[in-house]
A = this chain, B = another copy of it.
Amino acid sequence: MPHPTELLVCTTCRMGQEIGPDGVRPGARLHAELTTMDWPEGVHLRPVECLSNCDSGCSVVLRGGARRWTYVYGRLTPEMAATVHAGATLYHHTDNGLVPWRSRPEHFRKNCIARIPPLETPE
């Protein structure tokens, strides 16, 4: 059983667009799409406010415990829920968060905003 994985989705992202007061933001639309999908046990979807990656949104974060790398991915759109699902599922099945670069969805390969080392380094 893999460790739990958190998939944080920035729901305040405007993708640089003008959104009226009653409009649904692209980040919220991406999150809504993701909630309709079947997820492996242990993947927890969590809406969050502003990941401060506004110039390159929509944005998600993958993390999962003290032994895994954390990843920030950007330049997503609400239509890319399947890509996020694929990338998150691959991440979920690692111990350390490192999915081989060639195995990642193409969008993840090209739009990694940052990665952060595990809290506990098994060195």
Mark A residues whose CB is within 8 Å of B: 8, 48, 50-53, 59, 61, 63, 70-72, 112-117
Contacts and interface: CB of A to CB of B under 8 A. Distances in A.
Nearest to A70: B116
Contacts of A112: 52
B63 A116 contact: yes
Copies in the assembly, this chain: 2
Contacts of A114: 51-53, 59, 61, 72, 113-114
A113 B51 CA distance: 9
Contacts of A115: 50-52
Contacts of A63: 116
B8 A117 contact: yes
Contacts of A50: 115
A112 B52 CA distance: 7
A8 B121 CA distance: 13
A48 B8 contact: no
Contacts of A52: 71, 112-115
Contacts of A51: 114-116
